[in-house]
Structure 1
Amino acid sequence: MKSSIFVLIVMFLLSGCSDFLDVTPKDKQTSEQLYRTKNGFYTVANGIYDGLSSVELYGQQMSWEAIDIMSKRYVTTKASLKFKDLCSNNYSSTYVSPVFTSIWKKAYELIMAANLLIEQVEQQHGILTEQEANLMKGEMLAVRAFLHLDMARLFGPCWDNNPDALSIPYHESTEVTTLPLLSFSTVMEKIIRDFNDAEVLLADDPVITSGPLASSVEGESVQLRYRQFRFNYYSVIALKARAYLWGGNKESALVEAKRLLNDPKVHEYFPVVDPNKLLVNTTNPDRVFSSEVLTGVYVKKRDEIFSNYFASTAPVSNFLQPHSTYVSGSQTSLFAHLLLGAETMDYRFQSQWEGASGVGAKGHVFTKYRTIDKPDPDDEDSEYFYSKMIPLVKLAELYYIATECEPELVDGLKWYNEIRGHRGCLAFPEAYASMIPSYFGGWGMLLSQEYMREFYGEGQAFFFLKRITIMAGYPRGTVTPYDNGESQSMSTLDVRPPLPEGEMK
């Protein structure tokens, strides 16, 4: 029975495997046949990674669409009923409820697939080398922890409300069964445990000695290359920092973040974006700042995201655009610092936004996922790998975590100013540091601005608003007038959509 379920899951996952990962067998195979060769193991692993890039997860709903719309990034007055309901917190509507069900089911389907693959890796004898087996098991533990973390962040409570409040199930076996909801604190303990185990297993990850290896080499398997499209040693440490922060353990979050921020190898292998290459490149600019991405997903049809949803020519029901003065044009716009004024020199503004064009078009359109030219127009298969990338874990997040978690304000300000410098922005004067707790209500307001700029189209804005109360006196999830993609008025998002019916015990 388990073998049959496994084959069904695997073959479903492999139906759209990404080109550069694709080693899909031509005919359906039984579980026993699949695991007779090394290629079979990688076929399954690649299918799981491809599942992460699906519409239900980080190819759409959990990155640039549903989760971003929930954070009220866009005007939805003329949009589809699904988009309107997502933006207005109507999570139980006929149009939105299936979205959450599909996210939930796809996530737990991949978790089950990862568990099954872990079991097979543990049972195989000599088909994989020791390094290959450790890497594969470590990556799958990271997949499991990552997906549980995002399901807890989306459907669960916040740690400071009640750590013992029920959150989500944690699936860590290969049994097909309905699992009970666990407390938020228990779920977080299991997530950290899996990330810790993954880190140990990834101790020989090629990324540590050779970097991302973002190219293919003739005669060499791609399976130990393209480390940015897999959960690698560095991204696991970054995710531990994220998990600790979400669990309310700022001390441990800071330790993990600084392990990477203070590591010269990390800065060598994942260098900050070079404005001299980014801003003068009009043919194939790296708008996702891929050099800083620790792990991302490969989305075959990423080109269609801009044309179908963000371009001025997109259908009205799909068109995702902030209100006309939200991006630039007022003292309270996205690219205006509350103290330092207009910041259109920000690399994110210059490379990821452009003025809307067309009849009646106003404001700016979001271009992060706009099509870029191929390196060789005559070669049908040529492409820059970052032209298909949607980030999952980025180095910038570690700067924000360190900023928030440093016990001394001036130390946090150093991290804040360092990442702002990497984005072409002026430093916040240290002489004004005393204003941060008194005028800005702590780091919430300033970091909110950075999260919105940095993670637009990546889904992290909702999670930040869910976790942090921006200003004293306002409820969690408050979207202020200068931070509202839907309207100029203050509003509050519903930070906890309901668990899909029938998905809990």
Structure 2
Amino acid sequence: MKKYIVSICLGMFLFSSCSNWLDVKPKTTVEEEEVFSRELGFKEALTGAYIKMASTDLYAKNLSYGFLDILGQRYQINAVANYENPLWYTFPSTYTESYTEAIWSKMYNVIANLNNLLYYCDKNRDVFTTEHYYEIIKGEALGLRAFLHFDLLRMFGPIYKDNPTAKRIAYRTEFNQEPKEMQPSNVVVDSIIADLKRAEILLTNIDPLNFEFPKTEDGNSGTGKDGFLEYRHKRMNLYAVKAMLARVYLYAGNKTEAVNYANQVIDGKYFDLIGDATDVLRSKEIVFSVYVDKFDQQVTDITNGTSYLIVKESFLNEMFDVANDGTNDLRIREGVGFDYGTNGIKMRKYKQENLWASTEGTVVLIRLSEMYYILAECAATPGEAAEFLNKVRNIRGVDPVVCTEANRLDEIEKEYRKEFYGEGQLFFFYKRHAYTTFLHCPVNQMAESNYMFSWPDNETLFGKTN
């Protein structure tokens, strides 16, 4: 089961010297040299970064369907600590502090390990014996470093369009525990783009771009393919790098380059919009994702728990604009997008039933539809914006929308609400556009402080806040 993915993950834990290296702590040069003295060490160290990203404190939960989607007001529960409390938007508070501290420390831990890998990638380049492994491993590591810093900036940084020079995070490129001055956010953005551009150069004409979604249990067995280069949708592939450039350029206000890279992802023809009701993950739309081992056990937190549900159908109907779009939308349809039960409504997106080997344990971080939404934001006219939105809406089973200059952003926001349920992107949309309120928001007037995560108490480990 999941032969390639599980084997590479298990190898990570069985590799004893590497398991010591994975934690950021004092160690000897001899241990580092041993890890990176052979090609296998680089492969497993890179895989270790993906494994750490797929923890529940990060993308396996809190940066997908968990904390970020709570902030996006995705759920409606009956509990003492309900999501309608303004303390969810107070940083720090008793509601938020444990989340933000874990996110900060674990994100920078992965970055530190990537920095060490990148250092030895060039220092020990002669240990790479397989053709193109150097370019692929270094390209992925650079892309991941940029990806993680960008999400740190989106969480802990300012509302960028209003305050681009605020010093909120440091872009770390060395493996050490020395404090580093916080940098202006626009300088961080420049560093993110620079890393993504370097990754793009390394991966262009090198990345095998194997995005097949085999339905068989063993996927690629017997084909003679290199398992390390398969399932590219679960690694920082070339098109994930291009999609990130589109995402970052939009964030920075460079619409020309955002359009350029969004079109490159679409025109690459490796991905397709999916309207298949049986494919709940919409597999061929996945540009980048993480693999979560034993995700079926974790998903019970969604399907059987009380933290990630909707009590009243009217709450969900508002979110999916049912009054205008009806219930034909695949994303809300009963038995497709959600399960409707007596104890509440729960999403089906992460159910691990009847999945292909290539989609088991998958949490989507970038999907094709976002590229169309980027084009809609950047379109020269409302009519063109509507065309991009309708390409997705048509596949989802809803009627075309008509955009005006007055309602364009509202229509894009509605699509973010529907499309990225359980994927953590909606809160970032609200912050990027400095929404002072949004659907089901419990704060009367959202300010920058309600969007900006607080530094942990022990931040001096990784930076200087003064």
Distance 2:255 2:101 in 1: 32
- 1:80-229 equivalences under 5 Å are 80=81, 88-128=88-128, 129=130, 131-208=132-209, 210-212=210-212, 215-218=219-222, 219-229=224-234
Contact preservation (8 Å) 1:85, 1:95: no
| Residue of structure 1 in register with 2:384 after alignment | 411
Query: Is the 8 Å Cα contact of residues 305 and 370 (structure 1) preserved in structure 2?
Result: no
Q: Does 1:370 align with 2:351?
A: yes
User: 1: distance between equivalents of 2:61 and 2:366?
Assistant: 16
Give the deviation of 1:333 after TM superposition: 4.7
Distance 1:165 1:459 in 2: 24
Aligned residues: 435
Which moved further from structure 2: 213-222 or 172-181? 213-222
Give yes or no for contact 1:306–1:369 (8 Å, CA) kept in 2.
yes
Q: 1:84 deviation in Å? A: 6.5
Secondary structure in 2 aligned to 1:347? coil
Q: Identify the residue that residue 69 of structure 2 maps to in structure 1.
A: 68
Which position in structure 2 is the counterpart of 1:478? 437
- Alignment match, 2:409: 444
Structure 1 vs Structure 2 CA RMSD: 2.5
Task: Note if contact 1:72-1:87 (Cα within 8 Å) is conserved in structure 2.
Answer: no
Aligned partners of 1:365, 1:372: CA distance in 2, in Å? 15
Question: 1:154, 1:497 within 8 Å by CA — same for their partners in 2?
Answer: yes
Q: Distance in 1 between matches of 2:282 and 2:445?
A: 31
Q: Larger deviation: 396-405 or 344-353?
A: 344-353
Q: Bigger relative contact order, structure 1 or 2, given CA contacts below 8 A and separation 6+?
A: 2
Matched, 1:464 2:429: yes
**Structure 1, residues 55-75: CA drift from partner, whole Å, max 9, x if none?**
111001111101110122222
- Structure 2: how far apart are the matches of 1:302 and 1:27? 24
**For residue 23 of structure 2, what is the aligned residue in structure 1?**
none
Residues 143 and 125 of structure 1, relative CA distance in 2, 3 Å threshold: closer
Q: Deviations over 1:321-377 (max 9, x none)?
A: 26431223xxx451426xxx233111212254335323xx35x32111123036xxx
Query: Shift of residue 252 of structure 1?
Result: 1.6
The answer to whether the 8 Å contact 1:166/1:183 transfers is: yes
Does 2:281 correspond to 1:288?
yes
Aligned ranges 1:376-391 → 2 under 5 Å? 384-391=357-364
- Whether 2:252 is the aligned partner of 1:247: answer yes
Aligned letter for 1:174? F
Any gaps of 5 or more consecutive residues in structure 2? 19-30
Q: Secondary structure at the match of 1:175?
A: coil
- Opposite residue 399 of structure 2, the aligned amino acid is L
Give the C-alpha shift of residue 490 in structure 1.
Answer: 7.0
In the alignment, which of 346, 350, 354 is matched to residue 338 of structure 2?
354
Whether the 8 Å CA contact 2:320–2:418 is kept in 1: the answer is yes
Aligned to 2:372: 399
**What percentage of aligned pairs have identical amino acids?**
27
Structure 1 CA distance for aligned equivalents of residues 87 and 329 of structure 2: 27
Q: Label 1:125 to 1:245 Cα distance change in 2 as closer, same or farther (>3 A).
A: closer
- In structure 2, do the counterparts of structure 1 residues 139 and 355 end up closer, same or farther at CA, with 3 Å as the change threshold? closer
Task: Give the whole-Å Cα distance in 2 for the aligned partners of 1:459 and 1:502.
Answer: 26
2:156 and 2:454 in contact (8 A); partners too: yes
TM-score (norm 2): 0.86
What TM-score do the two structures reach when normalised by structure 1? 0.80
- Report the counterpart of residue 456 of structure 2 in structure 1: 500
> Which range is displaced more, 299-308 or 66-75?
299-308
CA deviation vs aligned residue, 1:362-411 (integer Å, no higher than 9, x gap): 5x32111123036xxxxxxxx52212100011111000000001122222
Q: Per the alignment, do residues 293 and 452 of structure 1 end up closer, same or farther by CA in structure 2, a change over 3 Å counting?
A: same
Q: Give the conservation status (yes or no) of the 8 Å contact 1:230–1:295.
A: yes
Report the AA paired with residue 407 of structure 1. A
SS in structure 2 opposite 1:159?
coil
- Map Cα deviations across residues 90-144 of structure 1 (whole Å, 9 max, x no partner): 4322352121111011111111111111111112243224511011111000000
